[in-house]
Amino acid sequence: MQNISISKRSRRLRTALAVALAAALPLAAGLGAGSAQAKGTLVYCSEGSPEGFQPQFFSTGTTFDAVSVPMFNRLVEFDIGTTNLVPALAESWTVSPDGKIITFKLRRGVKFHSNANFKPTRDFNADDVLFSWSRMADDANPFHKITAGQTFAYFEDMGMKNIVDKVEKLDDATVRFTLKRPEAPFLADMAMDFASMLSKEYFDAMLKKGTPNAADVYPIGTGPFEFVSYQKDATIRYKAFDGHFRGRPKVDALVYSITRDATARYAKLKTGECQVMAFPKPADLAEMKADPALNVLQKEGLNIGYIAFNTEKKPFDNKLVRQALNMAIDKDSILKSVYQGQGQVAKNPIPPILWSYNNAIKDYAFDIAKAKELLAKAGYPNGFEVDLWYLPVTRPYNPDGKRMAELIQADWEKIGVKAKLVTYEWAEYRKRSKTGEQSVMMFGWSGDNGDPDNFFVPLLGCEAVKGGGNVARWCNKDFEALIIKAAQTPKQADRAKLYEQAQVIFKEEAPWITVAHSIRFDPVRKEVKGYKMDATAHHYFNSVEIVK
Amino acid sequence: MLAFVLRRAALIVPTFVGVTLLAFALIHLIPGDPVENLSGERGMDPERRARLLHEFGLDKSLPQQYAEYVGQVLSGDLGTSLTTHEPVLAEFLTLFPATIELAFFAMMFALLLGLPAGIVAALKRNTVADYAVMGVSLTGYSMPIFWWALLLILFFSVQLGWTPVSGRISVEFDVPMASGFMLLDTLRAGDWSAFRSAVSHLILPSIALGTIPLAVIARMTRSSMLEVLREDYVRTARAKGLPYWEVVLVHALRNALIPVITVIGLQVGLLLSGAILTETIFSWPGVGNWLIHGVQARDYPVVQGGILLVAAIVISVNLIVDLLYGVVNPRIRHG
Amino acid sequence: MAESTAAVEAGDDGYAAPGPLREFWLAYSQSRGALIGLALVVALVVLALGADVIAPYPPNEQYRQSTLVPPAWHAGGSSAFLLGTDPVGRDMLSRLIHGTRLSLLIGAISVTISLFLGVLLGMLAGYLRGLTETFIMRLMDVMLALPSLLLAIAVVAILGPGLANAMYAIAIVLLPHYVRLTRAAVMAEAGKEYVDSSRIAGAGPLRLMFSTILPNCTAPLIVQATLGFSTAILDAAALGFLGLGAQPPTPEWGSMLAGALEFIQRASWVVTFPGLAILVTVLAFNLMGDGLRDALDPKLKR
């Protein structure tokens, strides 16, 4: 831009203006003509811009969808559509009997992408695994700290440093992880986005060139798609990677059209400007399902939307009060007005698609009379006043916190509980929740790795009261013993039994009102074949093809 | 003249210092924590949190942070975004052409409709045409813009399918961005269908953003025209037997435009303000959209730098308008 | 209205003959637009005052069996809910009527605060001149240099979302206009003879400022205040739209619109009616403001 002289630019501006005016007339006629996509290009209307192009730094689904999903692989991965682990960059793995040593046998012949500045000379090997891990774990790694504000979100927030003792290369194709304590969910952790495998050779080459940052901005991975370009807040372009170890994807090019507004995304899907859209609005689903040009796929969400009572505060330290408020909520109305059918009533803290879900548990039924009775028994025959904190933003587990709050407010009024609706800016909301100043608050959780431990420990464990993730500030000794034991038990069937017992205690003690598990929908155009919805809310396009 | 220019320019300095201070104070006073914003429901490891606070300089006292910020700004560095780690100025420059393009076409829309409408209303005073122009422009002036934009989308894009819903260009076109102005770049690439796509994407946002300036310009042109038409020299020109249209277009309009220019200048600030809502609704990848997200994420450097740059533009445009006005109307210089 | 005409009466003290009130009304009623505006404003005030009696239902009562019922004239509409219901089954008409009260209240309170502060600061700047003036006017320049919506957003964010805070934010955003206007008027008046003679007669600065000069600057302030009403209502709606205005379940128009945005395609009435209400109200005040300007100050006549 700076090379163009002013006069030239203004002349061009004048010409452009003249042309624009001349073009305005014929334009009006044929504007709506649906855009004919280049053959083999899949356009996905995504909900936002990625924070960056390095999966280790960030923690949002939007970033993962744009980075680790199309361009990177993990040692183990989730079978798309389930939370079962399948081999990926590791062909196989063994776990020692004490659960502390995990040995990965790496796949051979896996190729990395290339770009204008880098052509890989070797395949993926153990050095890349060690590098990817040490970059996060080791202060001495030259890339551990190269830009201001660079941190390793998941690695640090999940306390990986306290879990993994060391990582060693046994040979070019074998890597051994030694843990500090038995940790049953560790393998599932390794399938998460932060554990994506980077190319050591690429990073070294960029360091040599004096531009170490480039490796984080122009990503090189082993994934099905290669990075082409990014126009901030507008589009991300990828092309199919011929050398992908699972075979070249069926489409030639992949484009993410960043469209923040859901109405706009839907309109683009209708006109065929994109073929898949992220996060439809509940309100549009009925119309989408009726549209013959669309397929609406659905999947139960790996999440829970809940209302937590601060069990350290009066009157919520009283189990009877918590139970009474549970009974005074008409969940069916909430499902209808807030989720609009895009959810199912929750009775447990984990969703039914997760193993160890205790289906024998009975939910508190909507019963005003019984609720009043319990409240009277607890010493509050005339109810009380309370601040109800509601979510200021739309979350996957709760499409509209405000509307949910309005419904609950009306319901509780019937048993004399007067709720004042309060909210804060989202970051402020989370920050305050950790200090325990809340009385009753709306919250939720989306699972990252399909292990029940990923729900119980961060949300209801005693340790999480200190950390702030346990917003009910509920620490129950029996419950805690069960979930700790489960994390250290290697066999899934044994673990499931422990978690089932924990859910019984949870329901009786009622630290939460479990409101709903949302159902996720991915509307795709009919010509899109082979698209499968993922369990952890990512969007995978490697097996998709477009059949006109 | 020079003294006038210097006097006006000198006023900019305190205004600018004030803007840095206000921008800084506002964003730091807002509750919410930029570091907390980098995590989700999971919450953040306290050690990571402390390190980030330190790296962003947020563990220092506010006066110290402000002093460092001003020092940074004076050396031409607006800092880096806390979310993307990109330099604020670079982000602004990538996105600004989109905002200029939108604001330019909104202004064109307002001028091309507003000026003739105002002139007609003045010439046909107290006729149906006058009432229609004034009624429509007052309605436009009273319009909640976010609602108006939604109605436009609902009708023209969703119901009729005439215009695209959002964005700057259809994704099928991958035009190399040289200037950042989509229309210029598509022309440069010689791609006509891409150019048409870019123009069609501009229509609705330009109308939404241009509606208020249109109303203001039409009203201002009308009243200014009415005033000028009463002046002696217009009557003299008429008396000399000059054709009606020549009198109107050459003698009256030229003088009537002077106050209109001021109004247009003032509208630039309003356009940038209006662009915040318009860009958000139309997913327009411009500065307004970016600022709103900066505020939401409490991305201090983005908000401070963005406000500073936007204010700099508004202040300079106002200065230019003042100076132009001084040139056109010498009496002002000594006011 | 009663208030503003009274002020005019006081301001036009010096004149005799046809009676200032009557003269004003003659000038005002010349414009059809102004009369329409006045009629609409009176109607809105009646709706606001009588909301409890006029609205068919309480604004927050949820009829859970009748969510998103279309307006009566639509297929599937019901005469029980003339303008339909919202996503949790509240009557749209009743909420809109109660919303009138809120919007007028927002307008009245924020304009009053802004007017009061603005006149005070403008007086000080115009009368005292010197450093005080420089400081006040530079501060106003700074406020005008920021996009007004952004300023309002920032102020509300600092104070916390809520109706009262939105009013303060709007008052702050409106402030520079009143300050500039008052200062200009004071400077114009301060040199005039009647001010000098009062001063010679021994009037103190406060008396000079508020009882001698101020009454002679009221006309442009009244006009600006009326127009400020419409700006305030628009800004409040924009804040509500961004989720920073009135908190649930308050039936504020902007937040009603934002809260139901997702239904724009399926149930457009939940979005169109609140928007229409905002438009009509703002239009009414703008029409009235234009009429007042023409009637009160022929110099400002557009």
ipTM here:
0.80
pLDDT at A410 over 60: yes
The per-residue pLDDT for C98 is 94
Asked if residues B27 and B304 have their Cβ atoms less than 8 Å apart, the reply is yes
Min Cα distance B145 → chain A (Å) is 17
A4 at interface of B, judged by CB pairs closer than 8 A: yes
* CB-closest option in A263, A337, A425 to C88: A337
Rounded distance between C-alpha atoms, residue B155 and residue B176, angstroms: 32
C261: closest chain B residue by CA:
B150
C60 at interface of A, judged by CB pairs closer than 8 A: yes
Kindly state the tokens that stand for A81: 């559509």
Phi-psi region of A468 (alpha: psi -120 to 50; beta: other; left: phi over 0): left
The per-residue pLDDT for C18 is 65
Min Cα distance C274 → chain A (Å) is 17
The per-residue pLDDT for A35 is 39
Kindly state the tokens that stand for A362: 């009975």
* CB-closest option in A1, A51, A267 to B180: A1
Read off the pLDDT of residues A418-432 as tens digits, 9 standing for 90 and up.
Answer: 999 988 878 788 888
Q: How far is CA A357 from CA A8, A451, A477, in A?
A: 69, 11, 21
User: Sheet harboring A164-171: ordered strands across?
Assistant: A90-95, A101-106, A174-179, A164-171
Asked if residues C253 and C277 have their Cβ atoms less than 8 Å apart, the reply is yes
Residues contacting C113, CB < 8 A, separation 6+: C167, C168, C171
Read off the pLDDT of residues C56-65 as tens digits, 9 standing for 90 and up.
Answer: 999 988 988 8
Read off the pLDDT of residues A341-381 as tens digits, 9 standing for 90 and up.
Answer: 889 999 999 999 899 999 999 999 999 999 999 999 999 99
The per-residue pLDDT for B5 is 76
- Of A498, A517, A518, the closest CA to residue A506 belongs to A498
pLDDT at B315 over 90: no
Asked if residues B199 and A23 have their Cβ atoms less than 8 Å apart, the reply is yes
Read off the pLDDT of residues B21-49 as tens digits, 9 standing for 90 and up.
Answer: 888 887 787 777 788 777 777 778 888 88
Asked if residues A429 and A391 have their Cβ atoms less than 8 Å apart, the reply is yes
Min Cα distance C268 → chain B (Å) is 9
Of chain C, the percentage scoring pLDDT greater than 90 comes to 25
Residues contacting B249, CB < 8 A, separation 6+: none
**Rg of chain A on CA atoms, in Å:** 26
Cβ contact A282–C262 (<8 Å): yes
Q: How confident is the model at residue A26 (pLDDT cuts 50, 70, 90)?
A: very low
Strands (E), chain C: none
Rounded distance between C-alpha atoms, residue C144 and residue B273, angstroms: 11
Kindly state the tokens that stand for A111: 């190729």
Give SS3 for B169. coil
For chain A, the average pLDDT equals 88
Kindly state the tokens that stand for C225: 């205040």
Rounded distance between C-alpha atoms, residue C296 and residue C211, angstroms: 20
Rounded distance between C-alpha atoms, residue C256 and residue C271, angstroms: 8
What one-letter code names the amino acid at C2? A
A402 at interface of C, judged by CB pairs closer than 8 A: yes
Asked if residues A104 and A90 have their Cβ atoms less than 8 Å apart, the reply is yes
Min Cα distance C262 → chain A (Å) is 6
Rounded distance between C-alpha atoms, residue A448 and residue A454, angstroms: 7
C239 at interface of B, judged by CB pairs closer than 8 A: no
The larger pLDDT score, comparing residue B2 to residue A312, is at A312
- In the block, which residue shows the tokens 């010197």? C130
pLDDT at A21 over 70: no
Average pLDDT of the segment spanning A538-542 = 93
Q: What is the DSSP letter of C71?
A: P
Q: How many helices (H) and strands (E) does chain C have?
A: 13, 0
Chain B residues within an 8 Å CB radius of C264: 150, 154
Asked if residues A444 and A306 have their Cβ atoms less than 8 Å apart, the reply is yes
Chain B residues within an 8 Å CB radius of A12: 184, 187
**Residue B42 burial (CB < 10 Å; 0-12/13-18/19+)?**
buried
Range list of H helices, A39-193:
61-66, 68-71, 126-137, 153-157, 186-190
Kindly state the tokens that stand for B2: 């020079």
Q: How confident is the model at residue C9 (pLDDT cuts 50, 70, 90)?
A: very low
Q: How far is CA B239 from CA A145, A264, B20, B247, in A?
A: 81, 59, 57, 10
Range list of H helices, chain C:
2-11, 20-28, 32-49, 51-54, 92-128, 130-145, 148-159, 163-190, 193-200, 205-207, 218-241, 253-259, 269-296
Q: What's domain C46-300's architecture?
A: Orthogonal Bundle (1.10)
pLDDT at B334 over 70: no
Neighbours of A212 (CB within 10 A): 17
- Helix H, strand E, coil C: the string for C153-183 is HHHHHHHCCCHHHHHHHHHHHHHHHHHHHHH
Give SS3 for A164. strand
C147 at interface of B, judged by CB pairs closer than 8 A: yes
Q: What DSSP element (H or E) covers B90? A: helix B88-123
Q: Is 0.90 surpassed by the pTM of this model?
A: no
Q: What is the DSSP letter of C264?
A: T
* CB-closest option in A37, A267, A428 to B157: A267
Q: How confident is the model at residue C185 (pLDDT cuts 50, 70, 90)?
A: confident
Q: How confident is the model at residue C99 (pLDDT cuts 50, 70, 90)?
A: very high
The per-residue pLDDT for A22 is 36
User: How far is residue A251 CA from its own chain's centroid?
Assistant: 25
